[in-house]
Amino acid sequence: MYICREITELVTDYLEEHLSFGERLRFQFHLGMCRHCRAYLRQMKMTVKIVNRLRGEAFPPPLPPELLQRFKQWRRR
C-alpha cells in the first residue's frame, strides 16, 4: 500500500496511465481508503482540464516598454 507522499509523486503517472497494473491497483486501493488523496486527485484532474482549455487561447501581446517604465515609476512612489 502506498503512503500519501507517494500518491502525490505518482498522480501524474496515474493520470497519464503510465503505472503498471499492480501499481495502479495499489494506487486505487489507497484512494479508496484516503479522502485527502481523493481530493488531491480531483484537484489535479481539474487543473489538467483547465490547462488544456487554456492551450487554445492566445496570450496578450507584450506591453510596450513605455508603459512598463511608467508602471515601475508608479510603484516606486
In the prediction, which pLDDT does 16 show? Answer: 93
**Which grid cell is 29?**
486501493
**Which grid cell is 47?**
487543473
pLDDT higher than 90, residue 11:
yes
In the prediction, which pLDDT does 71 show? Answer: 82
Lowest mean pLDDT among 7-11, 56-60, 72-76: 56-60
Each residue of 13-72: pLDDT tens digit? 999 999 999 999 999 999 999 999 999 999 999 999 988 887 766 767 777 888 878 888
- Domain range summary for the chain, segments of one domain joined by +: 4-76
pTM (global) more than 0.85:
no
Contact of 2 with 30, CB cutoff 8 Å: yes
* 19/14 Cα distance (integer angstroms): 6
